[in-house]
Chain A
């Protein structure tokens, strides 16, 4: 089993403060990896570093054998890393279908002039991508909402749509930032099922940040725990559940019995 993503001694300093401090971790191909830790532990920052939204201070990120450490966000997307955001980030004024269709942007192969001049091969490709977008919406259970403006959807629907849009970019690695935050139990269940399906049916590796422990323990093959920007534990859910350092991190020294 190879590592699709290798993070080596990755650090990010904001001024004098280390948000991410010498983090080492591996993401195994086709696994669902959970990233947990108390608030402010650096989880979203780590996502930002991996996906190229922040430049790192030191360390390396290797994706599919390739050094992507200082690549910018659009480059990592082109290489196959997709992400969602902590706050629902969508094209609010566009319909759900338009959102996903825009996400298919990386799927274009015909030359740019052929597209602008509306030549047949470009139009065919566009049609094909539109169908792909529709299929993705169906897969995520949002087909009935295809013409609804994204801004009008419920919170839960928006978060599912966010994942759908990220999928449209054809990722090999999907970074989900708090996918079920703010959802009610039935929505959470649906999302968990979808995440599993994404990995099982489409063979996409998933790394997710989440605070809902039930979801994390249930869904993830392995878990990495961050505290104060450092990797303090790594392993399958059963081990992490019993790990003293992890419990201390969450509950403080007195809470750990």
Chain B
């Protein structure tokens, strides 16, 4: 087994894994701040890809502005959706289940709208960053390098945002306790809205990034379930956990696809998740839940 193939698989796994990390981070934000189990998340990923494609091919917009536009569009849509739907649900009883139902209904709407607008066929995009680079005997496509670089940049930026800026701190405060945050002058509603926007924007960004790499189809939203599991595996709310789990998924899919085929590797991933979550329901880095009487 030539080393170069292994390295290739690692690079692929890294690239895929980082995208999952990106998506998991956005999903994590939505789960910890407004606390919605947002199963329409994959649809925003899909929208980002299509917006990019549309702008680049129908509008002749260059890549980077189109990427920004895709991110912005999904972010705005996320904010609107939060304000109209999920903010209302927050004040009801039974939010957990209601959120899931509303999110599913939303995903139906968006997926069908995309289908009507773009048709059922998968579309490809010609490569934006063609060419390959040779590093010490290993060939890596420029595309992947750009992907990894941009993803890392955004992840680092997200981290800085959450740790250092006022808005980021507001988000973390609200995720713990909105009343206490309110004492600091933080509006929980606005923060949750902003968080939803940021989360969905991240999904759109990831979609835009992946559009040139994979084929586009309205069914791209199916990625949601993988994102959900990456988040659960890493522990809800844990950034480091999301990184670990995302990379695990990326590697499993990359190596699995090569050795045992994509179907079996997906099964393998879910079985591994099942086992890990059985022993540590809080995820790899979350706390193992203890049933303590009140």
- Bound pair (A, B): yes
A residues at B contact (CB < 8 Å) = 48, 53-54, 85-87, 89
Main secondary structure of the interface of B (DSSP, over half): loop
Check A87–B294 contact: CB distance below 8 A: yes
Whether B292 sits at the interface, judged by CB under 8 Å, is: yes
The residue in chain A whose Cβ has the minimal distance to the Cβ of B291 is: A53
The residue in chain B whose Cβ has the minimal distance to the Cβ of A47 is: B293
> Digit string of B259-294 for contact with A (CB within 8 Å is 1, else 0)?
000000000000000000000000000000000111
Give residues of chain B (79-129) contacting chain A, Cβ–Cβ below 8 Å: none
Q: Interface size on B (CB < 8 Å)?
A: 3
The residue in chain B whose Cβ has the minimal distance to the Cβ of A86 is: B294
- With A and B bound together, what is the CA distance between A54 and B293 in angstroms? 9
Give residues of chain B (154-179) contacting chain A, Cβ–Cβ below 8 Å: none
Contacts of B293 in A (CB 8 A): 48, 53, 85, 89
Check A53–B292 contact: CB distance below 8 A: yes
10 A-B pairs within 8 Å (CB atoms) are namely A48-B293, A53-B292, A53-B293, A54-B292, A85-B293, A85-B294, A86-B294, A87-B294, A89-B293, A89-B294
Contacts of A87 in B (CB 8 A): 294
CB distance from B287 to the nearest CB of A (A): 12
- With A and B bound together, what is the CA distance between A53 and B291 in angstroms? 9
Contacts of A86 in B (CB 8 A): 294
Contacts of A53 in B (CB 8 A): 292-293
CB distance from A234 to the nearest CB of B (A): 26
CB distance from B10 to the nearest CB of A (A): 38
- With A and B bound together, what is the CA distance between A87 and B292 in angstroms? 13
CB distance from A122 to the nearest CB of B (A): 31
Contacts of B294 in A (CB 8 A): 85-87, 89
- With A and B bound together, what is the CA distance between A85 and B294 in angstroms? 7
Contacts of B292 in A (CB 8 A): 53-54
Known contacts A85-B294, A87-B294, A89-B294; 4 further A-B pairs (Cβ under 8 A) = A48-B293, A53-B292, A54-B292, A86-B294
- With A and B bound together, what is the CA distance between A85 and B292 in angstroms? 11
- With A and B bound together, what is the CA distance between A86 and B293 in angstroms? 9
The residue in chain B whose Cβ has the minimal distance to the Cβ of A89 is: B294
| 3 cross-chain pairs, A with B, having the tightest CB-CB distances, nearest first | A87-B294, A53-B293, A89-B294
Contacts of A89 in B (CB 8 A): 293-294
- With A and B bound together, what is the CA distance between A122 and B294 in angstroms? 34
